[in-house]
Every structure is written in C-alpha cells, then in structure tokens.
Amino acid sequence: MGYNITLIPGDGIGPEIVAEAVKVLEKVAKKYGHEFDFTKILMGGCSIDATGVPLTDEALATAKASDAVLLGAVGGKVGNSKWYDVAPNLRPEAGLLKIRKGLELFANIRPAYLYEELKGACPLKDEIIGDGFDMVIMRELTGGIYFGERHTEEVNGVLKATDMDTYDENEIRRIAVKAFEIAMKRGKKVISVDKANVLDTSRLWRKVVKEVAADYPEVTLEDMLVDNCAMQLVMNPRQFDVILTENMFGDILSDEASMITGSIGMLSSASLGATKLGLYEPSHGSAPDIAGKDIANPIATILSAAMMLRYSLDLDQEADAIEAAVKQVLKDGYRTVDIMSEDAGLKQVSCHEMGDLIAERI
C-alpha cells in the first residue's frame, strides 16, 4: 500500500536524524510490502535562508496534502544566529507554530519510557526508579500563552511586555477527551496539571476536565499543581500514567521527563488533531553545536516514525517492529555518545551506524 509522507529535515542535526528514520522506514516498506513516497519541504532557518520566511504557504500546502509529516528539528543558537535578529514571526520556531496551526494539530503526545538497558543513564537513584516508569504527557498545542496576544510598549519611560494566556472551554475539552481516550488504552489514570490556585485559565481547565472525566468512569482523575508535578517527576515518576496539561506547562514538563529517561535523544512525540494527519518529531532541539559530526542520537526520530505508522497510517505491526528493533539494539549494547556509559560490553556508535543497526533488526 502507498503512503505520502512529507519530510522536514530542518536545521542543525535535523537532516542527519531524519535520514536515519527514512532508512528504517524504507526497510519497513521492503519487509511489509508498502510504498512510502517521501517529499521534502523547507521549514525553520533553512527556509528563512531560501525564502525569507520560516515556512511558505506552498510548503504548508504540501504537508496538508500528505498522509503524515516527519520533522527533524528547527532553529539555531538563540542570540548567536542571524535567524533571531528579526521579528518573532520570522524566526525559525514560528514555522513550527504555523504548521501546527495550519494542520489543526492541538494534541501533543510525548511518551517518557525508561528502557531497562538505560537505567544507568537515568540521573535518578535506583530506589526512585524501581522497575522503571512509563508515562505519556498530553500537551495542548494551539492555545495558551504561546498563541495569545502579545506586545511590548513603553509606559512612562519604562519598557513593558505583555503575553496573554487564554483558553476557551472547547480547546480544553478536546485535548481532555484525547487524554482520557489514551488513558483507557493504558493504565486508566489521568493527572491533570494546572495552576488553579493562581490562574483563571487553570480554574476553567480544572472545571472542564472534571466534566470530561464524568464520561470515563473507569479512568481515575487527579488534579496536581504544576510546581508539585515538577517535583513529583523526580521524586516518584512511577505514579504517572497520562499527564494532561496546557501548552506552556507541557513544554516544560515534557523536557524534564525526557531527561529522567536518560537522554532527550530518546524521546519521540506526535502532534495530532481531529483527523489522521499528524506531525511527528523528536522532542529535542536542533543541537547546532554537534550538527554534521555524525554523533547525534537518531532514536527519538526513529521512534517518532514508529508513532507515525501507528497513529496516522494504522500500521501497528510495523510500528511494533521498529520499537522492538530499538530495544534489541540497546540490549545488544550499542549506544550513541549521549547514552554511552562506562559499563562493560557497551559499544559506542555514530548516528548513521545506529540507523543501520536498527534497520538491520526490522
């Protein structure tokens, strides 16, 4: 069967890690009799260099017409890049906001799973890790302070900046439904994270989430303040199943969760909407300092490709095969530099070698 996949290599290490994910997808296609038609578009700093904007309308149209979109990373070093001495809407990350909005993607799913083989890379104590943890962070993606009105003005000779944090009940309800649906397939527990002791948006968030919870009596709902959640992630990560939260809180908490897995290079993500079309990307950034050195960890991108097969293309068996291949490579002792330790028997490999090893095990 044929599928159209839009590729966005992007900036920094993006082209390197996307190339390895494509290598694995091509092996999947060969083994399972599929045909993946890949179309590359520009987004981020590379698009600014070529077109003057972080994402053209034509590139967005290509993404909209595909079955799924696989992204590497966008952006450079903030403050040290030619891409940042411009208005915010012309910076590389504005392309990411535009494509999320254009594809109507409102739910970001970020799994945080600790592989048995990577316990040594986890910064937490063994008594905290226990038998490991397996959680999903469900982040609302198109509302909140990142999309609210913003401006900077001078008031009585003093510069004043304002960023508006806004949510309506429909935005909250649709992401809550997604979280409860995923919880039904997992441990049937949702922890809704907010700041309801301070923010009106959080109080509305809590109200609507409780209304949605009534439709899922099998799922346990717990409310947790965001500052407490940040502490609990490093004190007792095993308590979490599905974390449901708003845009900015989710952005921060998902990065924290990624680090307790051993490396942000291991964390995949999916951005979904009301249709099957989704955007899949690793949770890490463009890492411009290691770009071109063939040392980046491609596993998060490869696992994002597995999520793409599962959620957008309904190819569960093929997604399972990729995830099993990743586990086997780790079990066999292969590591990129970010997850390398001094344990005996481990073998450090490059970015492209890791891609080869995973593809071989499909």
Alpha helix (H) residue ranges in 236-297: 247-260
Cα–Cα distance measured from residue 158 to residue 232, given in angstroms and rounded to the nearest whole number = 39
Distances (CA, A) of 347 to 85, 169, 290, 341: 42, 51, 20, 9
The answer to whether residue 195 is catalytic is yes
> How many whole angstroms separate alpha carbon 140 and alpha carbon 247?
5
The single residue of 3, 115, 146, 311 carrying the catalytic annotation is 146
Asked if residue 261 lies in contact with residue 118, where contact means CB atoms within 8 angstroms, the answer is yes
- Catalytic entry in 11, 194, 241, 251: 251
**CA 362 to CA 360: how far, in whole Å?**
6
Active-site annotation holder among 11, 194, 195, 280? 195
Q: How far is 281 from 73, CA to CA, in rounded Å?
A: 7
Decide if 11 is catalytic. Answer: no
Structure tokens at 39: 């179309």
40 as an active site residue: the answer is no
* Letter string b/e over residues 201-210, b meaning 16 or more CB atoms within 10 A of that residue's CB: bbebbbebbe
289 is catalytic: no
- Catalytic residue (choose from 255, 294, 327, 356): 255
Question: What is the rounded distance in angstroms from the CA atom of residue 137 to the CA atom of residue 186?
Answer: 13
State the catalytic residue, choosing from 227, 316, 332, 343: 227
Distance CA 122, CA 261 (A): 6
Q: Sheet of 242-245: strands edge to edge?
A: 35-40, 2-10, 68-73, 278-282, 268-272, 107-113, 134-140, 242-245, 189-194, 220-225
Give yes or no: 167 in active site.
no
Hey, what are 276's tokens?
């099957």
Q: Which residues are catalytic?
A: 146, 195, 227, 251, 255
